[in-house]
Amino acid sequence: MNRFKKALFFVVLFCNVFVRSTYADEGMWFPQLLQQLNGEDMRLRGLQISIEDIYSVNKNSLKDAVVLFGGGCTGEIISKQGLLLTNHHCGFDQIQTHSTVENNYLKDGFWAKEMKDELPCPGLSVTFVISINDVTDQYNKVLTSEMTEAQRNEKIKTLSSQIEKKAVEGTGYEARVRQFFSGNEFYVIITETFKDVRMVGAPPSAIGKFGGDTDNWMWPRHTGDFSMFRVYADKNNKPAEYSVDNIPFTPRASFPINISGVKEGDFTMVYGFPGRTQEYISSYQEDMIVNTINPERIRVRDERLRIMDESMRKSDKLHLQYAAKQSSVSNGWKKWKGETKGLIESNGIQKKQMLEVEFNKWMDNHPERKKMYADVLPGLKSIYDANRPYISANNYYAEAIFGIEILSYANSFRTLSDLYTSEQPDPKKMEEEKKNMLNGISGYFRNYDIPTDRSMLQSLIAIFDKSVPDSMKPSDFTDMRNRYNGDFDKWANMVFEKSIFTDSVKMEKFLSNFSSSSGKKLKKDPAYSMIIALSDFYKLKVADRVNGMAAEVGRLNRLYMAGQREMQPDKHFYPDANSTLRVAYGQVKSYFPRDAVKYNFYTTLEGIMEKYVKGDEEFDVPAKLIDLYNKKDYGRYAVNGQLPIAFIATNHTTGGNSGSPVINAKGQLIGTNFDRVWEGTMSDISFNPEICRNVTLDIRYTLFVIDKYAGVSRLINEMEIVN
């Protein structure tokens, strides 16, 4: 490349990152600030309802129909009786929990014919947001630049507790202060949580997980990724623990459902709880992700998935036991592969470097700026350079060691052992912990297979040993390895032959009679002694170093974030996702993933039949769906003789947005967000409007499955359906 072309390349590269439009479909925006930051742009793009219809604390609004589902998904209320829609993969654990080999709801689906048939889901909750309030000024009055990070964090903790308590006095709500923009802003979020949530319906996996891992993160997509639940309340419509006396919750708002469909260019909005993004990190952190963290995590998960897949093919029982585990491991594995590919192909690191060049120029021209920010980028570089070996070791401990079930399960007994061997025993805590561990036995062993986990131990320990230097392993580990001459198969066989953690009956007996002397017995168990040696060493030599690094990175990132906003005063910044309520908006749009390839913006049932492979685990199709297809019996959900399945748009989404309502310009539900395209998974770090697309399950396919396939008309009758 000659000098002129090289210079032109970097000019174009920089323009893409620094001078791009404030509104390029990118952004996960505060709903309470939409009028101030986004109102005009949203109206220009086609929004027909008012911003107050989207978010309001003075009247019911769309926010009152959006819930945090469980710990990491979104759901939406779609009837006046608390009916809730989310993704099949969000409800997967509950569907699996209620399944048995005889009544396999994962395989065959589940539909409650009447309300009395809806299944309780212990431990599942949904949370509504009541209000979001800026309290940054209160923190700015007490936080100073002279404070150490420890002093700052202690002050934040104390003040947050005071603000949270005051915010909900006499209301029955909960409150939590959350930090935004790397700790430069603070908001108190008032919420209401309901704990009686019941499973209403789920399609069979051949619909709800059609395409399996092959199609995950891909387009075109044909997955009917939905499940249905209902929120229950006490007779006063307030949150309550499960009771047969509870009644369906009457929500403040519910989504009307529009079945007229979408066309290219239509306005769309996603309302939900995106989990985590890192849009404003330095090039040094992105380099660490691309060249160290993701490749290492992928390598270990390659092996974990190989072992799980081999086991799951052996029997229906094993398939059911490991379905949720395999899905969880695979989801991150494929996402990291796509993310790495996208960041490399889009020159993500170079774009960050170009922004840093401009940041240094901006800073160097002003003494006060230089005083404030001069150490930020050099400090970040130094930290990542010095800690790469520890970050690498951390990856292998997390993915390999703690990916072995027998070791993770044994490690969970640490608290119980410590309580019983304490110099000042607390009988109440001891009894509570013992009860918790006893209650967890059946759930753990229900989805556990010894041969599968033995293979996991044999393979993952070998990978760990080859990838982590001896200086970052405990001597107990290297001594045992040497004793077995590096024969990890033989080592693993010994662990499984002698450990108590492979037998539910022995575990129940052992726990029921647990005493202070039991701690000594635990220390002799090969699984327990191994994980205690590994976890103690990990905490002392690896985790403490990585956590200490993270604290300093957090301080520098806070300064870098403040500097970026100061440098670009005319740009509207959105905060990184942190599982708080956000709005993303864009338009229905096709895309060109690579040379000479164009992907249309929608898929149909025709595509399902094109992919259909009889008897295939991922691409089989239920006989009734085939029959409906052959008859073209689509009811009112077809368009031009075809049944729509999914569509893509330019909304900026991430994990946590699974299950989010996808809304049209009139504030009506048109689909459920469930994925992103593989080429655009880099959007957690670098959003590219040309190829980043969210994938939405068209609401017409959802209704078709409920109505025509499952025949559960009572659910259709609950909804407000419009054209």
For residue 252, give the CATH number of its domain: 2.40.10.120
Tell whether 595 and 455 lie within a shared domain: no
Does 359 fall in a domain? no
Mean pLDDT along residues 653-665: 97
Answer yes or no: do 396 and 474 share one domain: yes
Task: Answer yes or no: 572 catalytic.
Answer: no
In this structure, are 627 and 714 located in the same domain? yes
**390 occurs within a structural domain:** yes
**Residue with structure tokens 């390895």?**
481
Selection from 103, 50, 112 nearest residue 84 by Cα: 112
How does pLDDT run across 153-168, given as a tens digit for each residue?
A: 999 999 999 999 999 9
In a shared domain, residues 145 and 201:
no
Cα–chain center distance at 621: 28
Secondary-structure breakdown of the chain: helix, strand, coil percentages, each rounded to the nearest 5: 50, 15, 35
Task: Tell me: pLDDT of 7 over 60.
Answer: no
What pLDDT is stored for residue 520 in this prediction?
82
- Domain assignment present for residue 540? The answer is yes
Check residue 14 and give its pLDDT.
39
Does the residue 328 lie in any domain? Answer: yes
What's residue 515's pLDDT? 86
Q: What is the percent of the chain with per-residue pLDDT over 90, rounded to a whole number?
A: 90
Is 674 a residue whose pLDDT tops 90?
yes
What does the pLDDT look like over 414-441, one tens digit per residue?
Answer: 999 989 888 888 889 999 999 999 999 9
Tell me the two tokens of residue 436: 């918790």
State the SS3 of 274-324: CCCCCCCCCHHHHHHHHHHHHHHHHHHHHHHHHHHHHHHCCCHHHHHHHHH
Compute the mean pLDDT over every residue in the chain, rounded to the nearest whole number: 94
Residue 544 lies in a domain: yes
pLDDT for position 16: 41
Residue 287, pLDDT above cutoff 60: yes
Residue 213 pLDDT class (50, 70, 90 cuts): confident
Residue range 538-559: mean pLDDT, rounded: 95
Percent of the chain residues topping a pLDDT of 70: 97
Q: Is there a single domain that holds both residue 402 and residue 253?
A: no
User: pTM for the whole thing?
Assistant: 0.89
Among 196, 225, 453, 525, which one carries the catalytic annotation?
A: 225
Domain boundary (194, 223, 248) is at 194
Helix (H) or strand (E) holding 594: strand 591-594
Across the range 694-704, mean pLDDT stands at 98
For 441-496, the pLDDT digits (tens) are: 998 999 999 999 999 999 999 999 999 999 999 999 999 999 999 999 999 999 99
Which pLDDT score is estimated for 425? Answer: 83
pLDDT in tens, 514-542: 888 888 888 899 999 999 999 999 999 99
pLDDT value of position 13: 40
Q: Flag the least confident range among 16-30, 174-188, 332-346, 567-581.
A: 16-30
For residues 180 and 214, state if they share a domain: no
Active site residue 89: yes
Domain range for residue 139?
Answer: 128-194
Q: How many domains, in total, are found in the chain?
A: 3
The C-alpha atoms of residue 521 and residue 57 are separated, in whole angstroms, by: 58
* One domain, residues 544 and 686: no
Which pair of tokens denotes residue 678? Answer: 């593989």
Sign of the C-alpha dihedral, residues 131, 137, 138, 140?
A: positive
Report the pLDDT averaged over residues 353-357.
Answer: 97
Q: 88-110 pLDDT, tens per residue?
A: 999 999 999 999 989 999 999 99
Mean predicted confidence (pLDDT) in 651-656? 97
Query: Which pLDDT belongs to residue 24?
Result: 61
Place of tokens 């049944």: 643
Q: Is 222 a catalytic residue?
A: no
In a domain? residue 377: no
For 683-700, what is the mean pLDDT? 96
Q: Do 254 and 322 belong together in one domain?
A: no
Residues 699 and 555 in one domain: no
Same domain flag for 536 and 634: no
pLDDT in tens, 215-235: 999 999 999 999 999 999 999
The answer to which of 392-401, 517-526, 648-657 has the lowest mean pLDDT is: 517-526
* pLDDT for 611 beyond 80: yes
Is the pLDDT reported for residue 1 higher than 80? no
Note the pLDDT of residue 423: 82
Domain termination site, one of 194, 217, 241: 194
Domain presence at residue 538: yes
At residue 2, does pLDDT exceed 50?
no
Boundary residue ending a domain (538, 563, 588): 563
Pairing of strands 126-134, 66-69: antiparallel
Statement to judge: residues 433 and 496 lie in one domain: yes
Report yes or no: 419 and 426 within 8 Å, Cβ to Cβ: yes
Q: Is residue 521 situated within a structural domain?
A: yes
Catalytic-role residue among 311, 658, 683, 686:
658
**314 in the same domain as 223:** no
Beta-bridge mates of residue 644: 604
